[in-house]
Amino acid sequence: MESLPPELSPTGYLAEVRRVLEHIEKTQTDAVLAAGALIADSIAAEGVLQAFGTGHSEALAMEVAGRAGGFVPSNKLALRDLILFGGEPVDLLNDPKIERREGLAKRIYDLAPVEPQDVFVIASNSGGNGVIVDLAEHVIAAGHKLIAITSLEHTARITSRHSSGKRLKDFADVVLDNGAPYGDSVLPLPSLGANVCGISSVGNAVLAQMTIAEAVRLLAERGVEPPVYLSANSIGGDAHNDVLEARFAGRIRRSAS
């Protein structure tokens, strides 16, 4: 039996989580403040926070949009919107590499209830796949502010799969670095010759919630009541949320997925 490295353990993973948290605290605070200001400006102008990610980065969009403690004026955009709202066949999503395809992002944008004052958050660890770069390019061309969440180490080491040669970070007004290493995984497995246990989702979630905290703080400081969700599973949550959702009717989508 091979001798396993001591890092390959639950405590080893927690050590990597602490490293990511320290990286974010030491290097990303200014960027988080800038991102929070963009979101606060949009919400104050009756804008909506539009969030998008593909693959595991879709979890970032779920972290930002439609959850307790977050903004009611928020949407999770997704590739499945092409089916739910665009009439595409279900088997469109059978392509496991669909996120690399160009030409889909503008349709996702056009299908969404987007207005000029909306702000976008796009997450991609590599930042180089076709749908991600397409959407970033279109969002900026349409005049929206864009916050990118990515791994600066990973994206610096890839060749973009987009025909422009550009990556997500090249379009963003603010770039948030999630601290994930190249390849995302952090614990060594010698028999594999590579690492296991991804960490980008941890950094993404922390950056997202830090940014929301700053946006809420700024709104409250300006005397604007932050339109945030209460847990639907708490007393009074549904009544509170229903009032706010009615205020943004036609601008936000809510579904079980």
Q: What is the predicted pLDDT for the residue at 228?
A: 97
Which residues, in sequence order, are bridge partners of residue 120?
50, 146
Classify residue 110 by burial, with Cβ atoms within 10 Å: 0-12, 13-18, 19+. Answer: exposed
Q: Find out whether 112 and 80 touch, Cβ atoms under 8 Å.
A: no
Report CA dihedral (77, 83, 86, 88) to the nearest 10 degrees.
Answer: 140
The two structure tokens encoding residue 48: 């909506």
Low-confidence ranges of the chain (pLDDT < 50): none
Which SS3 state, helix, strand or coil, does residue 251 take? coil
Closest CA to 55 of 107, 109, 130: 130
Beta strands 194-198 and 145-150, pairing class: unpaired
In whole angstroms, give the CA distance from residue 197 to residue 186: 6
What pLDDT score was predicted for residue 2?
64
Name the pTM for this structure.
0.94
Dist. CA 82–CA 66, nearest whole Å: 20
pLDDT at position 5, please? 84
Q: How far apart are CA 114 and CA 251, in angstroms?
A: 7
Task: List C-alpha distances in Å: 151 to 23, 46, 195, 202.
Answer: 12, 31, 16, 12
Do residues 58 and 51 make contact, with C-beta atoms less than 8 angstroms apart? no
Report angle CA 206, 182, 58 to the nearest 5 degrees.
45
Spatial separation of the C-alpha atoms in residues 16 and 216, rounded to whole Å? 29
**What's the confidence (pLDDT) of residue 1?**
52
User: What is the tally of helices (H) and strands (E) in the chain?
Assistant: 9, 7
